[in-house]
Structure 1
Amino acid sequence: MESTSPLFALRNVTKVFPGVRALDDVRLELYPGQVTALVGENGAGKSTLVKTMTGIYQPESGEIWYDGQQVTIRNPEDARQMGITAIHQETVLFDDMTVAENIFAGSYLTRGRFGNLDWKAMNRRAQEILHDIEAPLSPTAMLSGLSIGQKHMVAIARALSVDARVVILDEPTAALSHHEIHELYELVRRLKARGTAIMFITHKFDEIFAIADRYTVFRDGAFVGDGRIEDVTEPELVEMMVARSLNETYPKVEAPLGEEVFRAEGFSHPTEFADISFAVRKGEILGFYGLVGAGRTEIMRALIGLSEQARGEIYIEGQRVSVRSPADAVQAGLVYVPEERQQQGVMLDMPIYQNISLPQLHRTSRAGFLSTRNELAVARQYGERLNVKTSSWSELVNNLSGGNQQKVVIAKWLATHPRVIIMDEPTKGIDIGSKAAVHAFMSELVQQGLAVIMVSSELPEIMGMADRMIVMNEGRQVREFTRDEATAEAIVSAATGVRA
């Protein structure tokens, strides 16, 4: 029988930072045996909410209720003792330790009056927990040998080792394959069957409707609405989140097509892809679609000189160019916005203005000395063009939301005046409002005569933004569609190797 009383609730909670009201009189209810999707743009207050729930932040006002009683969560240890745990997109685990050691990290089982670690008991208990969630892992396996999906299983097992009753899953599928996502769904269903209250944070609407029982929407740090997932539609959720319609997410603007600006011929790699050839014209967005492992990112990295084993020819505006390194690619007018922006796209501990001006040191230096004034001018020009939301261009990139970090990456490469820009999963992990801003800017770029190559795993994005699309399967080009002839069924059939 479904519970009518929440296990965990926030009532009129407010959290204020200097100059920012991160949470403004918000409320939230989590029910035992149910999944509540927390929906909102970057900057909506989701991260602050999680830190408040887990004792990292203390609210200025409001009430926290747990299991029918008003409580104070003074620190993360309080949250752990209550059975409240968070599993983040980047799981905080230790690769040089075993599965069992990770499960009991911080709460090791001991024996004897001297408190010696009881390895036999920990391995036995770890095996019981792993068996309970049907995770086919050995307690003695080293974490370094596990996939990201398996590491998520370990993180969930760790939560269950302390009898977690409230589990927060924060973007848990961002780096998972399709198979691993379905395995995670099964884990969530088993947690529900145990009576666990689950908060699921995701930007992916298909996940919300696949796994959630309830929804709660935040916008700009304020509570907007909540309810049962069966009583709301995707367009309604979008409008609650951002006060705009779903059609505005893909603001495709037709641009006049010019002459061919980029051509790749005969690109192959011994293990990743074979015989890749395509061309892009000025004013065109060329989409690359395929399942995980299809070789799309590997091709793009090869094009900009990051694959020593790849072979092929590149022509820019009809002239053959030699690209042996990313520096050669930038010099030729070809730039790459990578999928993993935090690891490969930005320097998190450097300010915005230094990130944007980094490839432009020859322009921002005088007599061999960097000019902060010139760096700030470049950052301001391109940061404002992309509407990077910040109080100062000197702010560290690490303090920005995912969507604004992505805008910094794009601004950095746009400042080099490229002719072709490769955007690999340009909206991965960012909210729908930032997605719309990135899509609008892509349309602006091609209207100005640039060529855009866009890699995306999101079918609506490919169909909504690309003028043409190339579908990959197991390292090969299998189909090419124009915008008019593409259908979702045909694209997916090609990507999965099914004959249309």
Structure 2
Amino acid sequence: MTNEPAPSPVLTVRGISKSYPGTTALRGIDLEVRPGEVIALLGENGAGKSTLSGIIAGAIQPSTGTMTWQGRPYSPATPRDAITRGIGMIHQEMRLLPDLTVAENVAVGRWPTRAGFLSGKTMLRQAQEQLRKVGFTGRMNQPVRELSVAGQQQVEIAKALMLDAALLILDEPTAALGETETSALLECIRSLRAQGVSFVYVSHRLAEIAQIADRVVVLRDGEKVAEHDSGGIAPDMLVREMVGRSVDRLFPEFDPPRDEVVLSVEGISDRAGRFEDISLTVRAGEVFGIAGIVGAGRTELVRSIASLEPLRCGEIRIDGVPLPSNDPIAAKAVGVALIPEDRKRQGVILSDTIEDNIALPNLAAITRYGFVTPSGVTRFARKAAARFGIKGDIGDPVATLSGGNQQKVVLSKWLSSDPKVIILDEPTRGIDVGARASIYEIISELAQQGKAIIVVSSDLEEVLGLAHRIMVLAQGRNQGIMEAAEATADRVMAYATQ
């Protein structure tokens, strides 16, 4: 019996390089994508994945090299050129129109008309069809700005599916999704793959790669360093190829927490009804994990604990002292710090420098005799940047940093005030393996210092690897709190879907 020849590639990339003043982002990349194939593109932040994806999608022009699409020369000048040829890209950073509804965002660029007028019924039906594929359960007429980050990501994916593309480039599509939504997306990809749609799949979640990838391409420092004909490659090998070294243990060891209760939450309910009757305690040196599917109320809960949202009832105490509701200044004053889930919109000012971002919430510590001096800001920022391992000159705009370094800027600006309670909402979303290990070490150090830490994550492996105890939310209610020794992925998911 003879093996059938492999189908001709729909996309070929030959010798693609991209240089910017003072740096080379890509060097001589070759790549082939065949019909109905999922290629995983791996690498640390800054390895060149986004640059290569942008070139294929027409958003970036290469310095050298050629491409073909379906056997013909292909050199898109704009993303519109790529879309008209059947190539779409779903960006990690959402590009939605916040004041339009969910259905309208999905339909943008593909407005269904009847007799020259927009057909609202057709638009709703088409939007529901695509959103169902990715597990979206929200309202079609809801403005996108009211959705969670995960909900917005689902809309972004559904919008791309409306293109009827032959090749979809997915840049960290599940970074904001929980296990249930991720499973729905992977099933959608399998269905489209069976119909001949090809995918370039960029992700830092190696477990997903094993489930969905037909081939794996690894980039490091702008070069292709490895290619595998299967997604089932040992994670340790992929990590070594991505970072150029062995990451022996992703999750550090944690000492048992102390007896002292730092944070006490008693029977709190959200004024908007997004969570009900939540009670928990976090001790000094404890990492308390919060898990649950998208829409369970995790982010709303921790924002309320940080006094950013009003409560209907209940009480929050720090070291036994009641914390006022909806008063973030008071919360900061008593030592509560929240690292938000959306670092670009809520965590940093992208156009400002590293040092200005770090200094902004710490002006009281920098002020001398009523004045803030540039030299004082610089000294403070340099010390914080060194402590948290931020790469780059402190005078650089935060927008120029990788995702991992941007997250370290967020950590440094809030942790430099030495808070007692640290809440991390999706602390490693969209961050590569090397940067994740670094942030986990920071969390371990904070626990050793006796901080009370809450970690909210859609990545079950992360919650299980970090937390001493895990609370599972479902539909805004506490379904149970488990010790780390009794917590498993199956058990957490069973509670989360009750």
| TM-score, normalization by structure 1 | 0.85
Measure how far apart 1:321 and its partner are: 4.1
**Which residue in 2 is equivalent to 1:114?**
none
CA distance in 2, matches of 1:150, 1:393: 36
Change in 2 beyond 3 A, CA 1:257/1:79:
same
Change in 2 beyond 3 A, CA 1:99/1:359:
closer
**Which residue in 1 is equivalent to 2:186?**
185
How far does the alpha carbon of each residue in 1:304-359 deviate from its partner, in whole angstroms, 9 at most, with x for none? 21222343333333444445411111100111111122222111222111111111
AA of the residue aligned to 2:161: I
Measure how far apart 1:433 and its partner are: 1.3
AA of the residue aligned to 2:302: M
**Which has the higher mean CA deviation after the structures are superposed, 325-334 or 148-157?**
148-157
Change in 2 beyond 3 A, CA 1:422/1:199:
same
Matched, 1:12 2:9: no
Q: Is the 8 A contact 2:212 2:231 kept in 1?
A: no
**Which has the higher mean CA deviation after the structures are superposed, 373-382 or 205-214?**
205-214
CA distance in 1, matches of 2:342, 2:431: 12
RMSD over aligned CA atoms reads 3.4
**Which residue in 2 is equivalent to 1:119?**
116
Measure how far apart 1:263 and its partner are: 2.1
Measure how far apart 1:406 and its partner are: 1.1
**Which residue in 2 is equivalent to 1:347?**
349
How far does the alpha carbon of each residue in 1:12-44 deviate from its partner, in whole angstroms, 9 at most, with x for none? 322122222211222222111111111122111
Matched, 1:363 2:365: yes
AA of the residue aligned to 2:279: S
1:388 is matched with which residue: 375, 383, 390? 390
2:59 is matched with which residue: 45, 56, 59? 56
Q: Is the 8 A contact 1:93 1:155 kept in 2?
A: no
Matched, 1:46 2:43: no
Change in 2 beyond 3 A, CA 1:2/1:340:
farther
Measure how far apart 1:426 and its partner are: 0.9
Q: Is the 8 A contact 2:178 2:292 kept in 1?
A: no
Change in 2 beyond 3 A, CA 1:151/1:439:
closer
CA distance in 2, matches of 1:356, 1:447: 23
Matched, 1:378 2:375: no
AA of the residue aligned to 1:265: E
How far does the alpha carbon of each residue in 1:53-82 deviate from its partner, in whole angstroms, 9 at most, with x for none? 223333233332333345434443443443
2:158 is matched with which residue: 153, 162, 179? 153
**Which residue in 1 is equivalent to 2:236?**
235
Give the count of matched residue pairs: 482
Question: Where do 1:78-477 residues align within 5 Å?
Answer: 78-94=81-97, 95-96=99-100, 103=107, 105=109, 119=116, 144=143, 148=152, 149-157=154-162, 159-160=163-164, 164-176=165-177, 180-245=181-246, 247-254=248-255, 257=258, 259-269=260-270, 271-322=273-324, 324-366=326-368, 368-390=370-392, 392-477=393-478
Measure how far apart 1:386 and its partner are: 1.1
Measure how far apart 1:122 and its partner are: 8.8
CA distance in 2, matches of 1:133, 1:299: 30
Q: Is the 8 A contact 1:10 1:28 kept in 2?
A: yes
CA distance in 1, matches of 2:284, 2:142: 47
Q: Is the 8 A contact 2:43 2:49 kept in 1?
A: yes
Q: Is the 8 A contact 1:45 1:219 kept in 2?
A: yes
Change in 2 beyond 3 A, CA 1:55/1:122:
farther
How far does the alpha carbon of each residue in 1:143-193 deviate from its partner, in whole angstroms, 9 at most, with x for none? 847963345323221x32xxx433212222334465554443344334324
Change in 2 beyond 3 A, CA 1:67/1:126:
farther
Measure how far apart 1:228 and its partner are: 2.5
Detail structure 1 runs of 4+ shifted over 4 Å in the superposition: 97-104, 107-110, 120-137, 176-180, 244-247, 366-369
CA distance in 2, matches of 1:249, 1:213: 25
AA of the residue aligned to 2:314: G
Query: Structure 2 unaligned runs (5+)?
Result: none
Rg: which structure is higher? 1
Q: Is the 8 A contact 2:339 2:425 kept in 1?
A: yes
Measure how far apart 1:431 and its partner are: 1.4
**Which residue in 1 is equivalent to 2:483?**
482
| TM-score, normalization by structure 2 | 0.85
CA distance in 1, matches of 2:124, 2:315: 53
SS in 2 for 1:248: coil
Change in 2 beyond 3 A, CA 1:400/1:310:
farther
Identity, in percent, stands at 38
